[in-house]
Chain A
Amino acid sequence: QVQLVESGGGVVQPGRSLRLSCAASGFTFSSYGMHWVRQAPGKGLEWVAVIWYDGSNKYYADSVKGRFTISRDNSKNTLYLQMNSLRAEDTAVYYCARDSRRLQLTDAVGYWGQGTLVTVSS
């Protein structure tokens, strides 16, 4: 079955960097768009970024544009999120998520990982 397992979260000081990874299994990774979605403690869902199934296009929320970079390695079935210049307001659980349907240029999110907590604090 579909599995998405995030890793790389932790405590980091403001201004520093962190890279999250998401290991995918149970489906043809290279056929699905992938997302990062975050949720600050006690708050709602915030969409962060999407990368097309072939990696040809990437889009970001305004709140992270220019600081975060989404990427994927289809040979390793892995999604990444490079987070630079981290701020306190980036503190959240970060979910790796998959499009609902294959080979779509845009789609709803059909599967979610369990999330990894990123805490930005001095």
Chain B
Amino acid sequence: DIQMTQSPSSLSASVGDRVTITCRASQGISNYLAWYQQKPGKVPKLLIYAASTLQSGVPSRFSGSGSGTDFTLTISSLQPEDVATYYCQKYNSALHTFGPGTKVDIK
């Protein structure tokens, strides 16, 4: 089975900072990669699918890139409302495995 890893597991950054989260698949998954945001006490929300396509209504400060095994989620200018845990998920095959998550907070 393909394993998903994320780094870092947590980060603290200042408002306005550029933040980058990495997701790695143990085998190639083409661009079948999604990113989700889960704010404390809330349901997860789809941010990006197909590695780089922004879901409708998601602010343009969020972007995704990558293909194959290495992917990144970038927040171009961190805002207070972006405090959340971010998860990647592969969906290239039957098993839709999530990464372990990256917790983002404000310094």
Which residues of A are in contact with B by a Cβ distance under 8 Å?
Answer: 35, 37, 44-47, 50, 57, 59, 61-62, 95, 100, 106-110, 112-115
Q: Mark B78-107, 1 if CB is under 8 A from A, else 0.
A: 000000010101011111111111000000
- CB contacts (< 8 Å) of B50 on chain A: these are 108
B91, chain A: closest CB distance, angstroms: 5
Taking a contact as CB atoms closer than 8 A, the residue among B91, B92, B93, B98 that contacts A44 in the complex is: B98
A61 and B95 contact, CB distance less than 8 A: yes
Cα distance A113–B103 when bound, in Å? 22
Question: How big is chain B's contact interface, by range?
Answer: 20 to 34
Binding site for A on B (CB under 8 A): 1, 32, 34, 36, 38, 43-46, 49-50, 55, 85, 87, 89, 91-101
B26 CB to closest chain A CB (Å) equals: 15
With a 10 A CB-CB cut-off, give which of A44, A106, A110, A112 has the most chain B CB atoms: A44
A114 touches B46 (CB 8 A): no
